[in-house]
Amino acid sequence: MKNNLKTKFLEGSRAVSLTVANIQPDVISAYPITPQTHIVEDLAKFKAQGKANYEYLRAESEFAAASIIVGASAAGSRVYSATSSQGLLLMMEVLYNASGLRLPLVITVANRAVGGPINIWNDHSDAMAMRDASWIMLFAENHQEAVDLHVIAYKLAEEFNLPAAINIDGFILTHSFENVIVPTKTDIKKYLPAYRPALGTYLNPKKPVTLGALFTPEHFWLEKKRIDEDLKNILQVFPKNYKDWKKILISKAPIKALVDNGLIEYCGPKNPETLLVAMGSMMGTIKECLKDDKKTGVLKIRVYRPFPADSVQKIVSNCKNIAVIEKAMSSGANGPLYSDLMSNLSSFKGIASNHIVGLGGRDINIKTIQNIIKSAKRAQIKFW
């Protein structure tokens, strides 16, 4: 399918804000925090200039912003917010409520280190704090992927009645400029219809329903199990949703992947000796480093929650060494991505190592990746 969309050279935040505006949410509420502020500033500007019809509510905190969109979603509206770092942590109580109430919220998380000590630069500490909140969690490598994942996130959230977070690395993606195709309202409508929740799933006097009821021990675990099952069921439909969207918005990837089912992407030889596993914007550096490497492959986790265990197992089955590279730590234990990966690889007989990189915005360069590859044959956890 052809489209007439033109590539534009845009700041990452601008690409996201234009995409969100074209998705046409009913209600947006947010509180500014670096480095996501450009996104909500743009959305406020679109509203003030008469270019958008959504309700834009300024909140006094991230907790309030999240509470506002919970209320709006409970009333049957398509909603949006964005946050970062401590702001995400301030939302945390509401995030758990949103998934428990089965509300299809969508937020952008401009990933930033969590203090203290105070730090405004990028890592994935904030995202890892919400990994057990029963949210769909997606990680973007670049501007185009950030745009694509926002549209797909709404589709999934509204189909499964579960909230979704799109993670984009703060500054590295939010404040940098790249060529990107921003889909029009018309293109988005081909994939994402107007939001019309069914009666009985939101607050409406025509069909009264209780949201947020007290669950006794006999029933609480059953509801948690149901949420878990529905979250995992997304693994079955995500590849088709991803493929359907790519048919509408045709964009060229800089490096052709050997495997890309939406959940994961693999680049490299068919049977790599060493496999690097990572998420987010550092994938660009890793791919550049591996351009002439015939023995090393890289596996990108695009969908972190639900964790794509089966897809991962198919890639790692033939490699000798796994090096998990991640921008977060779990004090007193292995990194969170490493723990997720290895808990699903009970049959793996090779050597696995965990590499914590980029904390607080520390540079991740080609030399860093080269050193990690050299040390991948030693089982260890190492900070770079």
Structure confidence at residue 255 (pLDDT): 59
Pick the CATH number of 7-248 from 3.40.50.300, 3.40.50.2000, 3.40.50.970, 1.10.10.10: 3.40.50.970
Q: Give the global pTM.
A: 0.96
**Span 52-77, pLDDT tens digits:** 999 999 999 999 999 999 999 999 99
Give residue limits of the domains in the chain: 7-248, 259-383
Q: Can you give the pLDDT at residue 233? A: 98
How wide is the angle at C-alpha 369 spanned by C-alphas 367 and 371, nearest 5°? 70
Same fold? 7-248, 259-383: yes
Count Cβ neighbours within 10 Å for each residue of 27-49 and write b for 16 or more, e otherwise.
bbbbbbbbbbbbbbebbbebbee
259-383 carries CATH number 3.40.50.300? no
Q: Which two tokens stand for residue 147?
A: 């745009």
For the chain (384 residues), the mean pLDDT of every run of 10, in chain order, is 73 98 98 97 98 96 98 98 98 98 98 96 98 98 98 98 98 98 97 94 92 94 97 98 93 73 96 96 97 96 98 90 97 96 89 97 97 93 92
DSSP letter (8 states) at residue 360: G
Query: Partners of 51 in the beta sheet?
Result: none
